[in-house]
Amino acid sequence: MKIRDGLRANYIYGFFVVFFILLFLRITYLQVFRKNFFQNLAQNQYYRLIPLSGKRGTIFDSKGRILATEINTHSVFADPFFVKDKETTARLLSENLNIPKQKIKERLMKKKRFVWIKRKISWSEKQKIKSLKLKGIGFLRERKRFYPQDKLTSSLLGLTDIDSRGVDGLELQHDSYLCGKDGMVRVLQDSASREVIITPQIIAPQEGRDVALTIDSQLQYWVENFLEETIKKFSAKEGSIIIMNALTGEILALANYPNFNPNNSREFSPQTMRDKAICDMFEPGSVFKAVTLVAAIEEKKFSDSDTIFCENGSYKIPGSTLHDVHPYGALNFREVFKKSSNIGVGKIANKIGSQKIYAYIKKLGFGDKTGIDLPGEIRGNVKPLSSWSKTSPYMIPIGQEVGVSLIQLVRAYAVIVNDGYLVRPHVTKAIYSQSGCKETPIECKMVISSHTARRARSILEDVVKDGTGKLADIEGVKIGGKTGTAQYFDTKIGRYSSTQYRASFVGFISDLNPPIVIGVSVFEPKGSHYGGVVSAPLFKKIAEKTVKYLGGEKNMLSSAGD
């Protein structure tokens, strides 16, 4: 019996010896060989890495007024590991953040330590969620893009996405400059999972560069208001305006209507946000006659006294018939453009020849991008000479069978007012960084003689004094320009619409220093569709403000210098 008890004791003793040896070996293995694994596991339960976005650069106008900046906000995130009652948590978050419950629940079910619930929430939303004291739900401070001028310059500035990356307009064009470099922060959540404590382990984000524009917010404000008034007065569909420094190509104002508020961009369609002055193409109508005017003068084909018989308003051409709004007999060269005679311009262009007309169309930049520093610019549509029909030599010079953008027209008229130079339009004045300032260079090339430009300018000033552009005239100011009334070619019916028109006026203020070009285009006006009735008065309103504002500014600068 004693022997049996002794054997039993030995077995028990041996068992515990083996057990403790195995336990010791296991502990040694875990402590030595699996040490890093368990340290990481413990840290992962309480630590996480969260990206920190670098502050996006600010966009200023030419006077230093802020057009786009960043403001602080908060975002809601979750640590699914600590969210035990996912159903209730998802329901409460859904009710207060206006997000589908199932979408939140799917995020809470992920095998991750960090998921976004909603980015960049309002202050009231933050307070509601905070009061719920939900376990595993926290807040992180972020920045969001803010446009303090609301709708002002909206189609020009464009938009950013939720991560403050540019997706349209200047925000997209200069995204590589404006966008800061991201950093990283390691955060520790307390045992109650109620707050986030930021540790010193931070990789600091870098700020983006600031961008200064050529846009003047004061001019922009007037332009947008006047455009909206005109659109509503004539119940038009849309319209665009550009003001440009003719010597440098600096865009002082660029407006489209309808416009939008980039702070609430979800409420607007992509079509509303489109920069129509740069991205849309249309048949220009009579404003395009400036090409024939320049070509005729440069090629020395006509003197001012040369007469052209305008067929009393109706002229048969190959494949069609040209008509004038009013029947004219004999008109001299200047009068053809003052009266905007389609027949007269067609005959002048025919004498110059198609090859020369095509050459001047290209010289003045049509059919090519202007190179403006904005995304989405179109080339327009200029048919190669080999594709011209028998009708084209008469139709293209009067602004049909050709597609242009408003910025192309403005640049072409700048050639006439700046003594013959084709400039590159631009809206960016300079890009700033800690290391210095990168200014936009002025680019131009001479495409016609100064003599041609001066004579064309004189004729276009007559158009405003006592021609089709009389409603654009300002007493005591040298105004020149050309009206345009173009029928809309309806692709659905395969012909020109009898109800849809584009009314345009492109003109210049030649006695300002520097001279200014203003382009106005209104689509589908009702009541009247003529450029001289719809767009010329709009030009006048803008020109009057521009002369007083820029002229007064020059006087103040001169007085300060004295």
Report which of residues 26 and 514 the model is more confident about: 514
Tokens of 337: 């453009």
DSSP-derived secondary structure letter, 6: H
In this structure, are residues 483 and 530 in contact, taking their beta carbons and an 8 Å threshold?
A: yes
Indicate whether 153 pLDDT > 50: yes
Residue 32 lies in a domain: no
**399: its two tokens:** 């602004």
Cis peptide before 284 (omega within 30 of 0): no
The residue written with tokens 């976005």 in the block is 53
**pLDDT in the model for residue 126:** 87
- The answer to the question of residue 21 being in a domain is no
- Judge if 206 and 248 occupy the same domain: no
Q: What is the DSSP letter of 383?
A: -
Which pLDDT score is estimated for 189? 56
In this structure, of 79-88, 237-246, 359-368, 529-538, the range with the lowest mean pLDDT score is 79-88
227 and 369 in a single domain? The answer is yes
pLDDT value at position 195? 46
Q: For position 7, what pLDDT does the model report?
A: 65
Q: Three-state SS for 330?
A: strand
Q: What is the pLDDT of residue 355?
A: 97
187 and 238 part of one domain: no
Q: Is the peptide bond before 393 cis (omega within 30 degrees of 0)?
A: no
CA-nearest of 68, 296, 31 to 179 is 68
| Domain presence at residue 9 | no
Task: Please check whether residues 52 and 127 belong to one and the same domain.
Answer: yes
Cβ density class 81-115: b for 16+ within 10 Å, e for less: bbbeebeebbebbbebbebeeeebbebbeeeebbb
Query: In sequence order, what are the residues at sequence separation of 6 or more whose Cβ sits closer than 8 angstroms to the Cβ of residue 362?
Result: 368, 382
- DSSP assignment of 224-278, as one string? HHHHHHHHHHTT-SEEEEEEEETTT-BEEEEEEES---GGGGGGS-HHHHS-HHH
Q: At 156, list the tokens.
A: 């020009």
Residues 177 and 238 in one domain: no
Which one, of 422, 503, 504, 417, lies nearest residue 461 by Cα?
A: 417
Q: 226 and 132 in one domain? A: no
Report the CATH number at residue 419: 3.40.710.10
Question: Helix, strand, or coil here: 525?
Answer: coil
> What sign results for the dihedral spanned by CA atoms 393, 394, 399, 402?
negative
Q: CA torsion 527→532→533→534, rounded to 10°? A: 80
Q: What is the C-alpha separation between 393 and 391, in angstroms, rounded?
A: 6
Instruction: Tell me, yes or no, whether 11 lies in a domain.
Output: no
What is the DSSP annotation of 493-516? TTEEEEEEEEEEEEEEETTSSS-E
What pLDDT, on a 0 to 100 scale, did the predictor assign at position 38?
52
Percent of the chain with pLDDT strictly greater than 70: 87
Which residue among 193, 213, 233 closes a domain? 213
The count of structural domains within the chain is 2
The CATH number of the domain where 142 resides is what?
A: 3.90.1310.10
Residue 303: band (very low, low, confident or very high) from pLDDT cuts 50, 70, 90 = very high
Predicted local confidence at residue 273, as pLDDT: 80
Question: With 60 as the cut, is the pLDDT of residue 559 above it?
Answer: no
Report whether pLDDT(160) > 80: yes
The secondary structure of residue 287, as a DSSP letter, is G
pLDDT for res 152:
94
CA-nearest of 429, 423, 413, 416 to 370 is: 423
Q: Label residues 436-466 b or e (16+ Cβ within 10 Å = b).
A: eeeebeeebeebbeeebbebbbebbbbbbee
Q: Is residue 204 part of a domain?
A: yes
Q: Is the pLDDT of residue 248 over 60?
A: yes
Query: How much of the chain exceeds pLDDT 90, in percent?
Result: 60
Are 102 and 249 in the same domain?
A: no
Q: Supply the mean pLDDT for the chain.
A: 87
Query: Is the pLDDT reported for residue 198 higher than 90?
Result: no
- 482, part of any domain: yes
Average pLDDT rounded to a whole number, residues 309-315: 94
Q: Are residues 199 and 234 in the same domain?
A: no
- In this predicted structure, the answer to whether residue 562 has a pLDDT above a threshold of 60 is no
N residues, the chain: 562
* Highest-confidence segment of 82-86, 139-143, 437-441: 437-441
pLDDT tops 80 at residue 270: no
Whose CA is closest to 415, among 460, 379, 382, 372? 460
- 399 phi and psi, to 5 degrees? 90, 20
pLDDT at 356: 97
Q: Are residues 534 and 500 in the same domain?
A: yes
Per-residue pLDDT reduced to its tens digit, 105-139: 888 888 888 888 888 888 888 888 888 888 888 88
Instruction: Give the angle 334-538-327 at the CA atoms, nearest 5°.
Output: 35
205 or 485: which leads in pLDDT: 485
Label residue 555 by pLDDT band (50, 70, 90).
Answer: very low
**Are 530 and 236 a contacting pair, CB within 8 Å?**
no
| Phi, psi for residue 31 in degrees, rounded to 5 | -75, -35
Q: Are residues 306 and 323 in the same domain?
A: yes
Residue 425 is part of which domain span?
A: 217-260+273-561
The reply to whether 23 falls in a domain is no
- Indicate if 252 and 340 belong to the same structural domain: yes
**d(C-alpha 402, C-alpha 468), whole Å:** 22
- The pair of three-digit structure tokens given for residue 163, joined into one six-digit string: 């991560």
What is the per-residue pLDDT for 32? 67
Res 186: pLDDT: 65
- If you average pLDDT over residues 400-428, what whole number do you get? 97
The pLDDT of 22-30, averaged and rounded, is: 70
Pairing of strands 159-160, 166-168: antiparallel
Q: How many Cβ atoms from other residues are within 10 Å of residue 79's Cβ? A: 21
300 to 230, 274, 297: CA distances (angstroms): 40, 42, 5
Lookup: tokens for 151: 């709708």
Half-sphere exposure of 48 (CA within 13 A, CB side): 20
- 498, exposed or middle or buried, with CB in 10 Å at 0-12, 13-18, 19+? exposed
Per DSSP, 181 falls in state B
Same domain, 229 and 178: no
Domain annotation covers residue 225: yes
